[in-house]
């Protein structure tokens, strides 16, 4: 379908937000379970050190460039992706389309109470949305959760357990989960619930959403060091490839 562009070992679909949402609609028409992942620079860097994660990302039907780090990296390789596609925004488009088509949605992830709040807030904004199941992300038994998802009759499953847990969980259980589309969307439920606010528009526009997040949650500094590490690794890798 959409051409994939390889950025530091991970193949990304070269799509805009609209195209990504449309592609999700196409995937929903096929009677099998499809996987959507939204790797940012941090996850891209993780994947370079974790072969299993890299393979999982590359096995997903839709892989979008979530974040400016990946977009810059694609430019450094001189194979730019069309756009940044934040997972949190793709999730909203998928929900809007689900409301139109009447497809059932299951929210899985985040701390107890957060997914319920997220579903309540989404229901206020998106008329006609049909939530068929909600479950927090701190469960002990995969079997129970999968049985609950399958019994719900959901078509769409949001898996928000943080990376790389959500990607590994989706890949491990893909064959047993009877939905048509599952999306690994990190902290999106926190964002929909309003427990974690997104950056003001100006930060997003300037590509400084990561900086806003750092100001709000300084303890993320360790994790965020993955961004400069990823950028250096990409620059080095692109020079190495040019020399060949
Ligand atoms: N989380 C979860 N189960 C776990 C670990 C994490 O549901 O075992 C949730 C956590 O509560 C948060 C999300 O996963 O809602 C991860 O958020 P984070 O901001 O770390 O995600 P990112 O988008 O940065 O990957």
Contact assessment for residue 88 and residue 191, using Cβ atoms and an 8 Å cutoff: yes
Whether ligand 1 lies within 6 angstroms of the CB of 111 is answered as yes
Mean pLDDT by 10 residues, the chain (244 residues): 88 98 98 97 97 98 96 96 97 98 98 98 98 98 98 98 98 97 97 90 90 88 90 94 72
* Range of the structural domain that residue 25 is part of: 4-242
| Largest separation between any pair of C-alpha atoms in the chain | 55
Say what the pLDDT of residue 244 is.
63
Q: Is 91 near ligand 1, meaning CB less than 6 Å away?
A: no
Distance CA 24, CA 181 (A): 8
Structurally, how many domains does the chain consist of? 1
Whether ligand 1 lies within 6 angstroms of the CB of 190 is answered as yes
Cβ(138) – ligand 1 distance below 6 Å: yes
Going by the DSSP 8-state scheme, the letter that residue 60 receives in this structure is: -
Q: Which two tokens stand for residue 133?
A: 């199941």
Rounded to whole angstroms, the Cα distance separating 174 from 38 reads 17
DSSP state of 110: S
The pLDDT value recorded for residue 1 is: 58
| pLDDT recorded at residue 132 | 98
Which of ligand 1's atoms lies nearest the C-alpha of 114?
A: 15
Tell me, in angstroms, the distance from the centre of ligand 1 to residue 161's CA: 4
Distance (Å) from CA 69 to ligand 1 centroid:
20
Angle formed at CA 191 by CA 187 and CA 193, multiple of 5 degrees: 115
Dump pLDDT digits (tens) for 77-125: 999 999 999 999 999 999 999 999 999 999 999 999 999 999 999 999 9
Q: Is 37 in the pocket of ligand 1 (CB under 6 A)?
A: no
In whole angstroms, what is the distance from residue 145 CA to residue 149 CA?
6
Please give the pLDDT value at position 228: 93
Among 4, 10, 71, residue whose Cα is nearest residue 231: 71
Token couple for 175: 């064959």
* Distance separating alpha carbons of residues 87 and 40, to the nearest angstrom: 9
Ligand 1 atom at minimal distance to the Cα of residue 223: 24
Q: How far is CA 17 from CA 43, 65, 81, 143, 154, in A?
A: 19, 10, 12, 34, 23
CB of 160 closer than 6 A to ligand 1? yes
Tokens in use for 42? 């941090």
Residue 5 Cβ < 6 Å to ligand 1? no
Closest of 236, 167, 168, 209 to residue 8, by C-alpha: 236
CA-nearest residue for atom 22, ligand 1, is 186
CA of 114 to the centre of ligand 1 (A): 11
Minimum CA distance residue for ligand 1 atom 1:
161
Closest CA to 71 of 62, 86, 81: 81
């Amino acid at each position: 379908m959409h051409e994939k562009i390889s950025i530091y070992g991970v193949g990304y679909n070269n799509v805009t937000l609209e195209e990504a949402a449309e592609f999700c609609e196409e995937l929903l028409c096929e009677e099998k379970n499809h996987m959507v992942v939204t790797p940012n620079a941090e996850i891209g860097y993780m994947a370079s050190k974790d072969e299993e994660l890299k393979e999982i990302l590359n096995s997903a039907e839709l892989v979008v460039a979530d974040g400016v780090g990946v977009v810059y990296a694609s430019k450094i390789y001189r194979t730019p992706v069309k756009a940044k596609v934040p997972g949190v925004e793709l999730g909203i488009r998928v929900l809007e389309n689900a409301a139109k088509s009447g497809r059932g949605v299951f929210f899985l992830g985040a701390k107890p109470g957060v997914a319920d709040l997220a579903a309540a807030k989404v229901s206020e904004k998106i008329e006609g949305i049909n939530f068929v199941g909600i479950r927090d992300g701190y469960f002990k038994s995969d079997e129970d959760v999968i049985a609950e998802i399958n019994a719900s009759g959901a078509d769409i499953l949001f898996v928000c357990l943080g990376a790389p847990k959500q990607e590994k969980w989706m890949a491990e259980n893909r064959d047993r989960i009877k939905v048509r589309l599952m999306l690994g969307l990190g902290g999106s439920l926190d964002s929909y619930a309003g427990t974690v606010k997104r950056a003001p528009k100006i930060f997003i526009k300037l590509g400084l959403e990561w900086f806003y997040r750092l100001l709000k949650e300084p303890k993320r500094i360790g994790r965020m060091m993955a961004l400069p590490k990823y950028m250096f690794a990409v620059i080095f890798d692109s020079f190495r490839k040019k020399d060949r």
